[in-house]
Structure 1
Amino acid sequence: MATRRLVLTEDMMAARFFINGQAFDPRRVDLKGKAQTVEVWEVSKLAPPAYPA
């Protein structure tokens, strides 16, 4: 079983978002899985909350 680690970050001043350090682009496909396989995705966000509690 494959494990993918995704780290989400952001630059709020520039309104830019990143996945594993690469700028997010909804027109681009960065991850492709194989049919009939199982993957575990570990997702973390390294940014302060947009609205403090």
Structure 2
Amino acid sequence: MPTPVEPERPDLTGWRRRQQLRRSSAAQPIPSGKSYRRKPKHTQAREIRDAHR
């Protein structure tokens, strides 16, 4: 990639740096503390359905 005559915009420099990190093997997901939990579906309908059992 040829070097530009004028300096690159600072926001593009930051984006390029972050993009290279994303592509690299050093990229690690950040644990958010939230995990997917499956909720029971239609609890009221299940109670009505299972009431006769």
TM-score class, shorter: under 0.3
TM-score (norm 1): 0.20
Larger helix fraction of residues: 2
Calculate the TM-score normalised by the size of structure 2.
0.20
Structure showing greater radius of gyration is: 2
